[in-house]
Amino acid sequence: MIELCGISVSVERTPVLRDLTLTVGAGEAVGVTGANGSGKSTLLRLLATLLSPAAGTGRALGSALGSRECERIRPHIGLIGHSPALYSRLTLAENLRFFCRLTGVDVSAVGAALDAVGLGRSADRPVDRCSQGMQRRAELARVILTKPTLLLLDEPHAGLDTGSAGLVDAIIDDVCERGGAAVVVSHDRARLDVAVDRVLDLRAGSLHDALPSATVVPGQGLR
């Protein structure tokens, strides 16, 4: 699904990713943690084919990153970034019908997708009158509808209530069960440990195995 070898990416001429290597197989969900500014969102943008590598070789869903082959895989990539990618003047249902038409999905599935994320009663509400959490859930509905093969999530649990956070995990599981893959960026290590198969730490521009989560033993502090 993903194969990155010796990848470097610069943003505004500043090197962000350096000699980065990553392999993600079919059915696998990988979590990425790292300090603010370490390059996690940049890595997702690279995988979403929105940035090109300055050096190294990378493939996603079989296409070479930074090449024209990427046009072929874009419909199969689902990205939920920091800010909701929704048209603020359109209603939730209008937004989802728009994405369905872009990706060739039957628009009659929109109602069920909104129900699945608990937004069935808000279908006709314009996005600019929805809370941030509702907008996040609408993005999850978009992913439910478009069924991406490669799912890229940036802080997907942020701003969601406990029930909706479980939805994120279910969507990741669905992608993996269909033979796809997911890369999930999060500062919430406890949630990541539940949602993904392994966690990597982005440090000094490249990925390293993350240390096991710290466990607190009463009376003994951190172990």
Ligand X SMILES: Nc1ncnc2c1ncn2[C@@H]1O[C@H](COP(=O)(O)OP(=O)(O)OP(=O)(O)O)[C@@H](O)[C@H]1O
CA distance 107 to 123: 13
Minimum separation from the CB atom of position 186 to ligand X (A):
9
Which one, 39 or 180, has the nearer CB to ligand X?
A: 39
# binding residues, ligand X (CB under 6 A)? 12
The β-bridge relationship of strands 221-222 and 216-217 is antiparallel
Among 12, 106, 177, 209, binds ligand X (CB under 6 A): 12
Is residue 50 within 8 A of residue 191, CB to CB? The reply is: no
- Find the shortest distance in angstroms from Cβ 9 to ligand X: 9
Site for ligand X contains 209 (CB under 6 A): no
Q: Which of 9, 20, 22, 34 binds ligand X (CB under 6 A)?
A: 34
Task: Tell me: does residue 186 bind ligand X (CB under 6 A).
Answer: no
What one-character DSSP code corresponds to residue 159? Answer: T
* Span of 36-44, 98-106, 143-151, 169-177 interacting with ligand X by CB under 6 A: 36-44
Instruction: Give the residue carrying structure tokens 């084919």.
Output: 49
- Does 13 bind ligand X (CB under 6 A)? Our answer is no
**Angle, helix 162-177 to helix 132-146, in steps of 10 degrees:** 20
- Cα angle: 27, vertex 46, 147; to 5 degrees: 40
Closest CB to ligand X among residues 16, 168: 16
Strand 77-80 versus strand 55-60 pairing type: unpaired
Residue 40 interacts with ligand X (CB under 6 A): yes or no: yes
11 lines the binding site for ligand X (CB under 6 A): yes
Work out whether the CA dihedral 41, 45, 51, 52 comes out positive or negative: positive
C-beta of residue 11 within 8 angstroms of C-beta of residue 178: no
Binding-site ranges for ligand X (CB under 6 A): 11-12, 14, 16, 34, 36-42
